Structure 1
């Protein structure tokens, strides 16, 4: 991808930017740094204008040619140049000194198309002139539009205030786009016009008068993307008359200024969010919606980590934060509709929430480090007494999790034992066993209540027998003392999965006597990115989604495979939190972490596009290798026997993977096997013997799809003169 700027020409390969500047005294660099207009010719060269002249970037040599206009005396002239079209013979551009010109870049001959329309800084910008498929030029002016046939017909004005206006009311357009059917799309304040010049008619599509359509890009199906001056990005379907405000899942558009956009052949939308830079909107967005700093800023909230979730009967999502209280999210509008801060009239007097529960009666329960709170009919919260003095037993009020049984009991896990609230009760009661446990995530499994104990494994008992206060059969069972259990996930009546701080455990329940049998223990050796796991959520395809200390993992139990999602997938961060997971009634998954939370709905689309790869640079004996032809365009290279230590750099040309690419290389036959480099994009070879070699490099995208045809570079390391065939012939003669 190439980008113009006020400070040179920028090339981006998906990983790094290379910036081409003007270097005084070097005629193979840019002349001027204000770059305007970009056109690629059929040979792969790039034409760009600056405030001085027209320039051609030569891909083979990685440098520039300059093309200046001259006056009648042959003196060089300078001025802004904007190229807008190139074919196999000519490049067309508009400039200040001449007007509209076609340059034959093979012969150097210049053809003046018209001098009536020249670049003027006050009325012309980069996209002020376009060429339609029939060869006509369309020039946007301060008022209206001019159509010009290069064959010689007079210019025709449309939507202009000029006396010779042919059609339409005077209108100031901000952009225009000719399309293949012969029509033009015209953007302006408050709407769009589709103009059919051959039929002398137009269709007006009004929109909000506060929106200025500043750029237009069109998909093959006719759908339009609209960039605006300060109202964000829009998606318009003309046939249905539907205009959608595009809110990217990855929150890339934090700035509503989207006046310049580009839709590439992979479906990526590139947006100039001036002055913040370039934003990418991917067609294969992983589906992870990021709710981080940018989201909090738009909602008037400070950055915060998320500790817990709950969904109420209205479908609203309650979130508990690390240090900023509770807030309620409307998942339809993606807006925070309520913030319960410690200082608010209806909040809880705590800035932390470790767990939230919406019970069968529609009440919200909130566990904190300083007690348990419950909402009442007035939508305010009050502290629930547990009968233990706060002053002497504070840890008994540190609530970690809650669960409601089908019998209506609420069970509470704390740092000092287990408590319960019977149906209709106003206070909590201590369970008369396990009072020394520091607990965590509670889980109901059939008639069993599962309780983790910090660094001491898991406990389970039949909660129905314990809720029957007159009952005599009360047994507590203890398993896996060596593990720290973060979450239990029952699968059916007999399988129980556990998220541990040492991996993922699969167990099976044996009924008599109750026991848990280990069936499998998955660790980093099996593909987990981290063994510190937090939450497990099942999808409709039989897979588990697991939060960890190194991102989110999709686990396929049938295949025993792991797919890892990281920061490049727009996760809130690597580290997630205990208790911070939820599946909503609409099927949305939520995982909370130290820098925000993610929301998504499986399945997550895979990136099936294998990346291209290029050799980008080479050092020989520690010094950059200089070649007449750009290294990325070379197919073969010769080195002397003294240049046998070298480093090769390469890059995947991949914009869909957000820089997450892996590489394999080999120098055949020096390397007999492929070398896996992970994400490292360079390799160094030392003391390579003279001979003929073939360097091969291939790359994989962020979903592990490898390019099957490697990029190759033939490297010949010449023998020293005394080791050549001629030298050996001389030796033989002397002998």
Structure 2
């Protein structure tokens, strides 16, 4: 027998507190027809008690297990199918039954049989916009034909409709939403007014727009009514913005869009309202995105679609808002499918180039360094030198200007280093090496001079470090190692000599590092060297397939000091820890938990854990426990691939990693992981690689697989697969 188990883990993030002082742009994950959604207009969202997500669309009901979709559509020749493909609402009642309101009626879903039963007769053609169960477990429907109270035991109903000239009737038969207040009254949003209904007395109290009253509703077309955790009643209108009901004087406080105020409501056409667990009111508008209300500051922050950002909202018309039991936010849109905002936020802040916005001017980050003022300098692949002010989060750039000597030699900056306050060293791709004085704005250029051994040895400078005397060591591409004496303005070249075993092992240098003894460590494409400045000799460390204590791989990408005189070496074949005394290496690879063996950057946090950038995300590694926690693009990384030399740690502990799609930053202590343990359900059962369903010919399933406790197979069904949701 062959078993196949697929484990799908819930994403779990947070959105930072939204205030004028602290605002981070939400990082949405889009779920569209590309990912398997049946249609992109999502009117209803629900997470059921088993952990499955349900989406109501204009092309059927969708069930999502975090990995794949199942669809439920109307089929005229199947009386057990859903009665219509246009789904308006989904409810799981107190008894865990699933109800679906459609353009043609009310459906009850049988989870075991994957089948629907229909509450109303087929010829009623009832448009069910809202399903609501009150505190006494009574089921109410808001429809295009009035208000319905269902008797589920008898299968009967009581209907309340608008009656002309009857003040004790509905204001209008077209109902969008129903909620219950703390007194047990129902608030009903209709196409022509807001109604307050007492279920015991069967009386209606009506609220309309009154041009003579400042504190009345702004319009009569009420799209949504919502009760928050403080028992406030909020009303969303078409053309009238939102209003908060004041029960003391029976008036409404209005909030509308004001084009003169940036922090006003984004749009006056309201489609949905939700209060999150942090007390923030999310207002879904039509064509204006989401406005998030901070009541303390009495201001809105708007989240909207950005055509230049694939992680912005996918569409600005917000038809459904839903917060699940973990705290993840789900947003249903008019034509952009579902937008998912995981609870624990972006673990990583992302800086990138976005048209007409302040940010990087080029997304390919080749190098990162800090200065004495706490700011960040970023070398890019074609965008020149970018400056990031950490205090005001602003960016600026210094570009090459043809004919201007006081500009960078090129816009392709592979290495950045602060030599001393206000003096930067820049290494270029085919542009040599510059010293840039920030105060004077002067650039001093250094390029190779033909037949001059006291000049720079090669035009491409990969890495620069400063020693204790503030002189510079420069690693080049194909030109070996250079020592630059700043006082003498003179270069000393160290090159590979195949006839001298004490010379540099390779002329292609990726990384340099100086230890506390003054030894310069050189990472090349063909091994690791230790340079003794006193003797002028190079000691070589190379991979020996016959020696398990040798370095894992000869492509050396990054070097960082470790405790007790040891050194961490990042290679193209894994992470290595060098013991300088024994000259032996301990190796950590993908087999041990690394996401990838290409180690581009290594930083250490205050607790001794290493943060490692690779070609498959960022890993947190605890050398004491040998435990890994790996992060990917799903956690907010700029991408899964990172660049060597694009790792930097500020004095306050903030870390920066750069790659082909921008720059990530984070504080290690602020990274919070998912402590939610999801339930496990079998979601697919296959015999000979073919999924089997209830009702199939020769199917061993009597119930849907996630509702099945026992399966009996005959000898012809000996090869089967199980897939699970966790």
**Among 568, 583, 588, the residue aligned to 1:497:** 568
**Among 500, 505, 508, the residue aligned to 1:438:** 508
Task: Give the corresponding residue for 2:71.
Answer: 19
Deviations 1:352-393 (A, max 9, x none): 221122331313332122112333446475532354579xx9
For 1:577 and 1:8, the matched residues in 2 are separated by 44
Task: Say whether the 8 Å CA contact 1:48–1:83 is kept in structure 2.
Answer: no
Does residue 1:357 correspond to 2:407, yes or no?
A: no
For 1:500 and 1:597, the matched residues in 2 are separated by 22
Shift of 1:519: 5.5
Task: Give the corresponding residue for 2:91.
Answer: 39
Does residue 1:48 correspond to 2:100, yes or no?
A: yes
For 2:214 and 2:155, the matched residues in 1 are separated by 37
Task: Say whether the 8 Å CA contact 2:364–2:660 is kept in structure 1.
Answer: yes
Task: Say whether the 8 Å CA contact 2:448–2:456 is kept in structure 1.
Answer: no
Shift of 1:278: 1.2
Task: Give the corresponding residue for 1:196.
Answer: 246
Give the 3-state SS of the residue equivalent to 2:510 in structure 1.
coil
For 1:175 and 1:211, the matched residues in 2 are separated by 17
Question: Which runs of structure 2 are paired with 1:326-725 in the superposition (5 Å)?
Answer: 326-331=385-390, 336-338=395-397, 340=399, 348=408, 350-370=410-430, 371-376=432-437, 377=439, 379=441, 381=443, 383-388=445-450, 396-415=458-477, 416-423=479-486, 429-431=491-493, 437-446=507-516, 447-462=518-533, 473-482=534-543, 483-491=554-562, 494-510=565-581, 517-518=583-584, 520-603=586-669, 604-620=671-687, 622=690, 624-626=692-694, 627-639=701-713, 641-652=714-725, 699=726
Shift of 1:536: 0.8
For 2:693 and 2:403, the matched residues in 1 are separated by 66
Shift of 1:28: 1.3
Task: Give the corresponding residue for 2:196.
Answer: 147
For 2:415 and 2:472, the matched residues in 1 are separated by 13
Shift of 1:203: 5.6
For 1:497 and 1:247, the matched residues in 2 are separated by 44
Deviations 1:555-604 (A, max 9, x none): 11222333222343333333322111111344321222234343222132
**Among 133, 144, 154, the residue aligned to 1:107:** 154
For 1:620 and 1:51, the matched residues in 2 are separated by 37
Task: Give the corresponding residue for 2:10.
Answer: none
Shift of 1:240: 5.9
Task: Say whether the 8 Å CA contact 2:426–2:435 is kept in structure 1.
Answer: yes
Task: Say whether the 8 Å CA contact 1:366–1:374 is kept in structure 2.
Answer: yes
For 2:537 and 2:451, the matched residues in 1 are separated by 27
Task: Give the corresponding residue for 2:336.
Answer: 276
Measured at CA, do residues 169 and 18 of structure 1 come closer, stay the same or move farther in structure 2, by a change above 3 Å? Answer: closer
Measured at CA, do residues 33 and 137 of structure 1 come closer, stay the same or move farther in structure 2, by a change above 3 Å? Answer: same
Deviations 1:219-247 (A, max 9, x none): 44534334444555455443565755679
Taking structure 2 as the reference length, the TM-score comes to: 0.75
Shift of 1:424: 5.8
Task: Give the corresponding residue for 1:185.
Answer: 234
For 1:42 and 1:643, the matched residues in 2 are separated by 42
Give the 3-state SS of the residue equivalent to 2:717 in structure 1.
coil
For 1:616 and 1:355, the matched residues in 2 are separated by 50
Task: Give the corresponding residue for 1:216.
Answer: 273
Give the 3-state SS of the residue equivalent to 1:397 in structure 2.
coil
Shift of 1:423: 3.9
Deviations 1:164-205 (A, max 9, x none): x89635357664311354421345789764323366355667
For 1:162 and 1:246, the matched residues in 2 are separated by 32
Give the 3-state SS of the residue equivalent to 1:568 in structure 2.
helix
Give the 3-state SS of the residue equivalent to 1:632 in structure 2.
helix
Task: Say whether the 8 Å CA contact 2:219–2:240 is kept in structure 1.
Answer: no
Mean Cα displacement is larger for which, 308-317 or 445-454? 308-317
Shift of 1:396: 0.9
Shift of 1:528: 2.4
User: Which blocks of at least 5 consecutive residues in structure 1 are unaligned?
Assistant: 71-75, 463-472, 511-515, 653-698, 700-735
Task: Say whether the 8 Å CA contact 1:613–1:650 is kept in structure 2.
Answer: no
Does residue 1:308 correspond to 2:367, yes or no?
A: yes
Larger RCO (CA within 8 A; separation ≥ 6): 2
Shift of 1:543: 0.5
Task: Say whether the 8 Å CA contact 1:403–1:442 is kept in structure 2.
Answer: yes
Deviations 1:511-569 (A, max 9, x none): xxxxx632522233333233221211000111111112232221112223332223433
Give the 3-state SS of the residue equivalent to 2:640 in structure 1.
coil
Deviations 1:393-438 (A, max 9, x none): 997111001112342222211121223444467x552336667632
For 2:447 and 2:400, the matched residues in 1 are separated by 22
Measured at CA, do residues 304 and 589 of structure 1 come closer, stay the same or move farther in structure 2, by a change above 3 Å? Answer: same
Shift of 1:638: 3.8
Give the 3-state SS of the residue equivalent to 2:124 in structure 1.
coil
For 2:393 and 2:291, the matched residues in 1 are separated by 17
User: Which blocks of at least 5 consecutive residues in structure 2 are unaligned?
Assistant: 1-52, 163-169, 496-502, 544-553, 695-700
Task: Say whether the 8 Å CA contact 1:40–1:86 is kept in structure 2.
Answer: no
For 2:390 and 2:54, the matched residues in 1 are separated by 37
Task: Say whether the 8 Å CA contact 1:145–1:157 is kept in structure 2.
Answer: yes
Task: Give the corresponding residue for 1:719.
Answer: none
Does residue 1:91 correspond to 2:139, yes or no?
A: yes
Task: Say whether the 8 Å CA contact 2:351–2:360 is kept in structure 1.
Answer: no
For 1:343 and 1:634, the matched residues in 2 are separated by 72
